[in-house]
């Protein structure tokens, strides 16, 4: 990367202080956040930590590591007002939460704390984190940060789903369970897409199993070796696989997922 970011640990801490104070502002009279917002607060902290660790392991310089951590920290800043206003995390029924996150960060004046080139990177990484794919015309300096925050976000979605399914807490995700069946095998269209290695259309997702299959397809979308390494170290495939009910292709799904992970680790 040319013009390596110069962001400092002090600036990251300033972002962190702002973020924690901002999130706490959504607490009720009892001082607690509603469970959905608490979930996002914890998600954000984990994504920031993973983004920092992935950037460091990828060999980025110190300023870029701080900026990566800041993008992880701020990528979902809009989730709090989205939920307060619309009582949902479903963008289709409310607002594009990436655009909302950027608006919240702009409102807080955070880009002005950074050098202009770093502010542009932060804006791009936040704005594009929920797109189906990163647009081809993204500025070259922004691309690695956009890729990295998307990797860190996916790693935490793996964790959140496994945690929720393991602890019977899927009711924390009404935006998912309102629209799909909790029980049942993956849908034929989703399995077909999985074996063809093709993206799954939102409308094809009918069961929680379908979501799990979609997450296993994300192994193709992770960009950074340290992110793939974490999938292996965290035993993500087996953990997600535990929640798949019996169906004829079940072992083939898991075997292919393990093979893809091994191949992708080899090629990096
Ligand atoms: Fe997000």
Q: Is residue 169 part of a domain?
A: no
* pLDDT score for 198: 92
Same domain, yes or no: 190 and 140: no
Question: How far does residue 251's CA lie from ligand 1's centre (Å)?
Answer: 31
Same domain, yes or no: 140 and 13: yes
**Distance between CA atoms of residues 71 and 149, nearest Å:** 7
Same domain, yes or no: 84 and 34: yes
Question: How far does residue 117's CA lie from ligand 1's centre (Å)?
Answer: 23
Question: How far does residue 108's CA lie from ligand 1's centre (Å)?
Answer: 18
Question: How far does residue 195's CA lie from ligand 1's centre (Å)?
Answer: 27
Q: Is residue 258 part of a domain?
A: yes
Q: What is the 3-state secondary structure (H, E, C) of 190-210?
A: HHHHHHHCCCCCHHHCCEHHH
Q: Please, is 158 exposed, middle or buried when counting C-beta atoms within 10 Å of its C-beta (0-12, 13-18, 19+)?
A: buried
* pLDDT score for 94: 94
Same domain, yes or no: 130 and 191: no
Same domain, yes or no: 194 and 239: yes
Question: How far does residue 76's CA lie from ligand 1's centre (Å)?
Answer: 5
Q: Is residue 217 part of a domain?
A: yes
Q: Is residue 27 part of a domain?
A: yes
Identify the bridge partners of residue 21 per DSSP, sorted by sequence position: none
Question: How far does residue 267's CA lie from ligand 1's centre (Å)?
Answer: 28
> Which residues, other chains included, contact 159 with Cβ-Cβ below 8 Å and sequence gap of 6+?
46, 234
Question: How far does residue 17's CA lie from ligand 1's centre (Å)?
Answer: 20
Question: How far does residue 97's CA lie from ligand 1's centre (Å)?
Answer: 7
Same domain, yes or no: 102 and 13: yes
Q: Is residue 171 part of a domain?
A: no
Helices assigned H by DSSP within 92-235: 97-107, 116-127, 143-166, 174-177, 188-196, 208-217, 225-233
Q: Is residue 167 part of a domain?
A: no
Same domain, yes or no: 17 and 103: yes
Domain stop point among 123, 146, 169: 146
Q: Please, is 180 exposed, middle or buried when counting C-beta atoms within 10 Å of its C-beta (0-12, 13-18, 19+)?
A: middle
**Distance between CA atoms of residues 211 and 73, nearest Å:** 25
Number of domains in the chain: 2
Question: How far does residue 133's CA lie from ligand 1's centre (Å)?
Answer: 13
* pLDDT score for 3: 58
Question: How far does residue 77's CA lie from ligand 1's centre (Å)?
Answer: 8
Same domain, yes or no: 137 and 253: no
Domain stop point among 146, 172, 194: 146
Domain stop point among 125, 146, 167: 146
Same domain, yes or no: 141 and 34: yes
> Which residues, other chains included, contact 162 with Cβ-Cβ below 8 Å and sequence gap of 6+?
236, 239, 240, 242, 243
Same domain, yes or no: 124 and 199: no
Question: How far does residue 89's CA lie from ligand 1's centre (Å)?
Answer: 9
* pLDDT score for 111: 96
Ligand 1 ion: nearby residues, β-carbon < 5 Å: 76
Question: How far does residue 129's CA lie from ligand 1's centre (Å)?
Answer: 6
Q: Is residue 161 part of a domain?
A: no
Same domain, yes or no: 13 and 142: yes
Question: How far does residue 78's CA lie from ligand 1's centre (Å)?
Answer: 8
Q: Is residue 166 part of a domain?
A: no
Question: How far does residue 268's CA lie from ligand 1's centre (Å)?
Answer: 26
Domain span at residue 43? 9-146
pLDDT tens, position by position, for the chain (268 residues)? 455 668 999 999 999 999 999 999 999 999 999 888 999 999 999 999 999 999 999 999 999 999 999 999 999 999 999 999 998 888 988 999 999 999 999 999 999 999 999 999 999 999 999 998 999 999 999 999 999 999 999 999 999 989 989 988 877 666 656 577 778 899 999 999 999 999 898 888 899 999 999 999 999 999 999 999 999 999 999 999 999 999 999 999 999 999 999 999 998 7
Same domain, yes or no: 184 and 129: no
């Amino acid at each position: 990367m040319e013009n390596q970011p110069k962001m400092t640990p002090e600036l990251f801490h300033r972002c962190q202080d702002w973020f924690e104070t901002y999130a706490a502002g959504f607490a009720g009279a009892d001082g607690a956040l509603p469970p959905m917002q608490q979930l996002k607060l914890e998600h954000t902290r984990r994504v920031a930590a993973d983004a920092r660790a992935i950037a460091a392991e990828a060999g980025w310089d110190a300023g870029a590591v701080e900026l990566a951590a800041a993008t992880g920290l701020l990528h979902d800043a809009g989730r709090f007002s989205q939920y307060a206003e619309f009582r949902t995390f479903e963008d289709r029924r409310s607002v594009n939460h990436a655009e909302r996150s950027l608006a919240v960060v702009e409102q807080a004046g955070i880009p002005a704390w950074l050098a202009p080139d770093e502010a542009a990177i932060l804006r791009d990484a936040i704005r594009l984190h929920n797109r189906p794919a990163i647009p081809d015309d993204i500025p070259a300096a922004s691309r690695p940060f956009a890729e990295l925050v998307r990797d860190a976000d996916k790693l935490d979605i793996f964790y959140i789903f496994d945690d929720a399914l393991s602890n019977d807490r899927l009711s924390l995700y009404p935006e998912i369970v309102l629209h799909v069946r909790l029980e049942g095998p993956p849908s034929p269209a989703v399995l077909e897409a999985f074996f063809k290695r093709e993206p799954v259309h939102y409308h094809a997702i009918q069961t929680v199993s379908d979501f799990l299959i979609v997450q296993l397809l994300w192994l193709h979308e992770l960009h950074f070796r340290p992110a793939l390494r974490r999938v292996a170290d965290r035993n993500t495939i087996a953990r997600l696989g535990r929640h798949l009910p019996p169906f004829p292709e079940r072992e083939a799904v898991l075997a292919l997922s393990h093979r893809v992970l091994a191949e992708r680790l080899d090629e990096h």
